[in-house]
Structure formats: structure tokens, C-alpha cells
Structure 1
């Protein structure tokens, strides 16, 4: 029996599109569960037994939906079985084909976007999905609970939840960049306003870098000039937005920056396990003795800029013939979002350009590009360890953990060639070779400089990159957000 004087547990609710567990339907009709990883899983596990937690997520596939229907699940996890067609319109139609494109500035603006009647139908589904999350959180949360909402999929949830449960402490974290104000305002005015109002329902908004936080503040005040007022003190002090809603007291939303670092302890331990050692042997055989390596590990996401990276490597081979047969580009491009035609086309283009380079320059004993498209984490870690140069050249990226991970596990030290449009440049820029991601010639020159760098300088840069990249590991990143939200 609990004493009447016992301190009640603090309650923390986490909301994200993807949850910590997924289910696959096997041929015999049984369900197989699979655990996920990442910063959220690590962070939630760090809060301790004195905190009651619940993770609300979407059922993403047939296995997940069947698990919900059968009442199968894990303690502390609630999956929402949203109508598959509604979910697809919200996820693919809006989150991945509109919001992702806006924040990563991916549109070919002479032709797109075109916000027509179909867009409005899909937007209605996006609102429906967000409302399902808000209602589930409102129903599950105890008095004064803290709620951490994740990413662009759920941008409307804070505002919806605030209307349902004004007693809650609500946070939202953006894992992507935030678009510059003029790009953000390509969205229809009412939709842009809806997004900003939804975000400002939170008590605290978190971003990966100061740049993205400032872009949101600019977007908010430009989109809702009569409703919002920004407070930005000099230096690193508190920044916030005051949002005025007719008939209510003004609501203040803190704007916070929480850079996410790599989990150094996990990476060092995992990169020394037997399966990684086996893949190192296989990769060395494919690369060939005595050759240098330029490594990249990405999803075939449009923003990752893989094709221009390949063109830069080709330019290196074309203009610096001394590197032919002396360097191999190890490119891991793992397929992403293949249910969208534009992603399938991009994946095919990556393969085509890699094959063109191999056809043009390859010899019987040298394959210039080793392209792997089958996801294999152990093989990625093996490539990290072997890298002489790590190429991370996104068009735009909220952070980019690969840039932080490679220096942590590199065997002999590596040079990081890093896009100035990656959020990680704020922490790693001093010790990386920073490039314009659109400049193929400039990137090729940086690759040459990286390959020519002396061992001593390379080792010192790698040491500093590893220290900077692990400064805020996932558990600390999560706990900082929770502590910042307060009680």
C-alpha cells in the first residue's frame, strides 16, 4: 500500500512518429518484435525508475497494426492505429514530400511546389494524424506531466495538446533544419500560420543549432506579425517568443538549442566486435593493398547530396591522375523512402553515376567506387575505421551524426570534408575541411587536400573532432531537454 505521504512519480510522455519497437508478421501468423535504437531510446532509458514514462507512436506497417489489434505491445509504449490511407497521406504526402522539402530547400522552384486541391486533402490527413497524437497524449497524461514531442511529423501537436490540456508542460524538438523565412513562406499563408501556431503551443522548442532556432524565430514573427513578439538578448541568454491569442493571456515559448552528439562509448565498443572485424577484412580485400579510402555512409536521401559527391570524386580522378589506382571511394548509400518515385529515381542515379566512374576509370585490379546499397551497420563501422577521408557533403542537414561518428572510431585518423550546410559544422568546422555542397570543383580540391594531409595533422584533427562530436551524448541531450522543460 502506498503511503499518503509518498511523493508521486513524475510522468514523462514522449511522442514520435516512429516508436522504440516494431512488429513483423511472419508466415505462420505470429508476430516478431524488433527493438530500435537511437538517441530517444537511450535518453528515455536514462531517466530512472522515479519517473513514469509512456512513448506514444504510430503503427507504421501491417505488423504494427496487427499487434495493436491483438492487444500485443510493450509496457510503456502505446501505438496508434491510424487509418493507413490517412497516415500515408500525412506521412508521404505532407511530412516527407512538403515539410521535408521546405526545410531542406529541395524544390525545383520553376516547377514545384504547386499547392493544389490534392495538397489540401493531404493536409487534412496531416491534421487528423496530429490530432490523434494530441488526444492520446491528453488522455494518458496525469496532472502537470511533461510531454516531449518530436519532429516535423508532429508540428501541430503542441498547439492541439495545449487546447486540450493547458496544465501540461509541453516541449517540441526539431531534428531537421528550419527553412529560411522566405523559403518557409512558400507554403500557403494559412498553412504556414497553422504550423507556427502549432509549434508555439509548446512551452519550449528545441533545435539542433542556433542557426535553425533563429530561422524559426524569423519565420514565426514574419508569418504572424500581429501575434508574435521575439525576445533575443545579446550573448547566449534566454530567447523566447511571446504569442498572443485573442481572449487568452499571452503565452511564452522558450527557444533552446541542443546539439546532439555521437554515443562515443557505444561506438568504440561496437566497432571492435567480431562482425566488424570480419567486414574490415572483406573491405580491405575489395579496396586493395596500399590504397587510400574516401568513405561516405548515407541514406539515399535527396538532401545527402550523394550524386554531387560522386561527381567531385570523378573530377578528382580526371584532374589529378596521380590518384588513379591509389584511392577508392567507399560509398554506402542505403535506400530510403522507396515508396516515393523521386527517391527511387535518385537511388537509380546514384548507381548510374558510380557505374559510369567505374567504367571510365576502372582497371582489372582497381574498382574506383565500391557502392553498397544493402544496409549493414557492422560494415558501416568497418568503413569508419578504415577511412582516410570522410566525405559528408549534404545540401542541408539538421546535424549529421556520421560526421561525428567517423572520427570516434577511425583507426589511423581521418580527415573530415564537411558541408557548410550541415548543422555539425557549428561544432566541427574548425577541424574539418569545409566545402560548399554545390561546388563540385571545390569539393574535389578539398578531397585532394585531405588525401595529402600529413599523418600528424590528421591525427590531431581527428582527436579534436572526436572530442567535439561526443560532447553531448544522446542520454545527456535528452535529459537536458527534459530538465529545461522544468515542472
Structure 2
């Protein structure tokens, strides 16, 4: 228990905890620290509550620049960065969070061969516990009595229960940005670890998710693994005398920001460059993703190849702008997947390309202005993840589209719950059906596409990031 008596310096009334913070640091060649501010819903949310709220953001030092900033005592007002030993951080973040929990929740394992929960895994799990405990300690130190704490995502699943032990006076919420696995898949994890993860989140007063589907899956796991009790409405879980309320907050696109940013000169320049590269008069099928295994980029390319095979009239008349930005390249399976994306794109270009038509324009260098340019130009947006907590690309494209866009959307994306009525919905594993959906999208009548785009944009911006954050905060008060 932390003694709060006389603690004026550490008296935050609102706290956010996440692996990545609002600012990252890098070391310049001259040894000087350079800072870079991030964006996203949490940044917008904290801005919305104003500086007088006494908010503090607790995050991890992700690299050497961040760790050096901690050593020098450099930091942004209203933030606290935790310097965790690099080997502990690597085991917690890469080996557990991204190579185990992410794989479970996105159902990515090739189960005949993986996972293997051996002694090495147990060592990595101990690092994950240490990592979560460091966050719980920092939050306990920073929080004023009765403060509200919003803990973010699968990296910090153990924090709510740990923080409850240290500071029972706090109001704690946990938000999961990923899907949640159904019980049969979640129970791939060792029984004790599955239980520890659930008990960790149940330490919160409130556990929130992007869709009701993910909230229901979490509740089902609590019942199946722990034997917890679920209320009749499915929104309260009682375990060992405590009740945790479930919530759903479908994070939306920041429409005002996207519309303004997409009209800047650098985006206009990239629009002209993309038009020149694609060729005049051609339809554009656009996807913008990280090369994350769950995004299903390879099957999207195979579906495009099937479109060109089944409907040869589209040859030379359509171009697939595939923006696949490398992700988690420190993990070998992600490097291999990124290479496979490039290989399939090259195969399609070799099979169908002509002297003046390149069927696939693959871009792997991250360029936000170019992504916005593609959003504006897209005739079709392809969003076909195997499984996705939400997928903001599906929400962002209709918001900034110049002439209306047909959205081909996986039924396994969280965004399907809000956008499914006006999208062309696909089974992400079905290549032939996805190719047919692309053809339907390319031939969608202009008036129908325009009307659907308006409804998609309205649904996509229904809960902008700042309101998404504030709704969670207010729900803790309730």
C-alpha cells in the first residue's frame, strides 16, 4: 500500500496506462534527445479533458532513446515513462504479448505445431508479470485517492488486479483493443495462466471492448475457465465476491482531423503521383495495412489475381494499390510474411502485367500523406482481416473519399458490426467469394456507391476518439 499522506507531487486524478506513450525519444548523432509526439484516440482523449484535470499517462520506455530520456530525467508534463530492463521488456512485449496473447486473441496458431508452452515460456511469463507489476507500482505512486485509472490493452492484462491490491481506493477500468478469443481457443493457454489473465482484468471495476462480440467472448471465458457468474444481461461478471461491469465502446474515426489533413498540399502532390503511376482512367482497389499476420494481405492479393482470372475484362482497367507497411520485423514470422506479400505481388505483375500496366502497386514505406491520397482516390477499399478488434481503415476511407467508395469488408473485423449493412461482406478465407465481391464493388452503380459512402462515413464517425475516451471515463463515475 502506498502512503498518500502529504503527497502533493503525486496526486493525479485521471491516469492512463499503455505500453506506448504520447511521446517517443531518439538519440541524435550529437547525443541530443529528439522527441516525437504520437497521435490516436488516447492523445485526443487526454486533450479533451483539459490540463486542469490533473491527468498522468504512464507508459514504457520502448527503446534506447526512451531509456536515455528516463536516465536524464527528461519527460513531458503529465507523463511518466517506466524504464524496464531491456531483456524483461523484450520477453514481456515480444514473447508474451505479441507472440502468445496476440496469437490467441486473433486465433493465428497453426495448432499441429504450435504453441509450445515449455519452461522457456514460463520464464517469459515471469517477465510479463514483472512488467505488469512495474506499471501497477507506478500507477499506485502517481494516483490521488479515489482517482480514475484507464488501463489499455493486452500488454497490461494483469495490472487491474495488481493495482487493486496496492490501491483499493482507485476506480479502475481496462480496455481491450483486440478481439477476445472464444473459450475453446483461449484455453490453448496453460490453465493457470488463462485464469491469471482473466483474474487480472476482473480486478477492474469495468472491462470494456470494441464490440459486444468481444465482450461476450471474454464473459464466456470467465464462466468456462473460472466458474464466474454472469448476470442475465451478460454485462456483469461476479467472481470471488467482486463484480466487474462490461462495456462496449466502438472507437470511431476522427472525421474532423482526417478531412482537414487529407486536404493539405502534400496529399494533393501524392494524389497526382499515384494517378500518374496507376495510369489514366483506371479503377483503383486500395488497401492500407501493416504487414500484420491477421490483416490477411496475401489472401487479398490472391483474390485480386482471381478477379483478373475470372473477369479478364478488368485487365489493364484496374490497379490494386497495396500499401503494406512492415510491422514487428524483429519477429521472424513477420519478416517471412512481409516477404510473402512481396512475392505474391511480383507473381501477379509477372503473370498479368503489360508494358504500360502494372496490376499491383505495392508500397512498403510508411507514408501517411500517401495513404490519405489513396483513401481519396479509392473506387474500392479492401479490408479483409482474418480477425480484427475494430479496423479503423474501414472507417477512415469513406470519411475522406472524393467520389464515393465501395467497401469490401471481412465479417471478422470488429467494424462489421457498425458498417456491415452498407459494405460488401466477405468470408476472409474464401478467395473466390472475395474476388466476386471485388467485381461487385467495381461495378456498383454510382448512386448506390454514393449513398452507401455517406452512411458508412456517418457510422464511422459516430464515436470519435475524444468522445470514446470520455465515455469510458464517465462510465467509471457511474
Aligned residue pairs, count: 468
What are the residue-to-residue correspondences of 1:22-421 with 2, within 5 Å? Answer: 22-225=24-227, 228-233=228-233, 239-244=235-240, 250-421=241-412
In structure 2, C-alpha distance between the alignment counterparts of 1:34 and 1:99, rounded to whole Å = 28
How far apart are residue 269 of structure 1 and its match? 0.5
**Is the 2:348–2:359 Cα contact (8 Å) retained in structure 1?**
yes
How far apart are residue 305 of structure 1 and its match? 0.0
How far apart are residue 199 of structure 1 and its match? 0.5
In structure 2, C-alpha distance between the alignment counterparts of 1:298 and 1:354, rounded to whole Å = 15
How far apart are residue 10 of structure 1 and its match? 7.3
How far apart are residue 251 of structure 1 and its match? 1.0
In structure 2, C-alpha distance between the alignment counterparts of 1:165 and 1:230, rounded to whole Å = 26
How far apart are residue 388 of structure 1 and its match? 0.2
1:248-277: CA deviation from partner (whole Å, max 9, x where unpaired): xx1110000000000001000000000000
Look up the SS of the partner of 1:108 in the other structure: coil
Q: TM-score, normalised by structure 1?
A: 0.95
1:197-218: CA deviation from partner (whole Å, max 9, x where unpaired): 0000000001000000000000
**Is the 2:321–2:360 Cα contact (8 Å) retained in structure 1?**
yes
How far apart are residue 319 of structure 1 and its match? 1.1
Look up the SS of the partner of 2:35 in the other structure: strand
In structure 2, C-alpha distance between the alignment counterparts of 1:364 and 1:138, rounded to whole Å = 64
Q: TM-score, normalised by structure 2?
A: 0.97
Look up the SS of the partner of 1:130 in the other structure: helix
Residue 451 of structure 2 is aligned to residue 460 of structure 1? yes
In structure 2, C-alpha distance between the alignment counterparts of 1:388 and 1:362, rounded to whole Å = 20
How far apart are residue 451 of structure 1 and its match? 0.4
- Taking only aligned residues, the RMSD between alpha carbons, in angstroms, comes to 0.9
Look up the SS of the partner of 1:143 in the other structure: strand
* 5+ long unaligned stretches in structure 1: 1-8, 245-249
Equivalent in the alignment of 1:5: none
**Is the 2:12–2:143 Cα contact (8 Å) retained in structure 1?**
no
User: Which structure 1 residue ranges, 4+ long, deviate > 6 Å from structure 2?
Assistant: none
In structure 2, C-alpha distance between the alignment counterparts of 1:431 and 1:414, rounded to whole Å = 11
* 5+ long unaligned stretches in structure 2: 1-10
Equivalent in the alignment of 2:418: 427
In structure 1, C-alpha distance between the alignment counterparts of 2:58 and 2:376, rounded to whole Å = 36
In structure 2, C-alpha distance between the alignment counterparts of 1:232 and 1:120, rounded to whole Å = 37
What are the residue-to-residue correspondences of 1:463-478 with 2, within 5 Å? Answer: 463-478=454-469
Look up the SS of the partner of 1:24 in the other structure: strand
**Is the 1:10–1:50 Cα contact (8 Å) retained in structure 2?**
no
Distance 1:49 1:20, change over 3 A: closer
**Is the 1:354–1:369 Cα contact (8 Å) retained in structure 2?**
yes
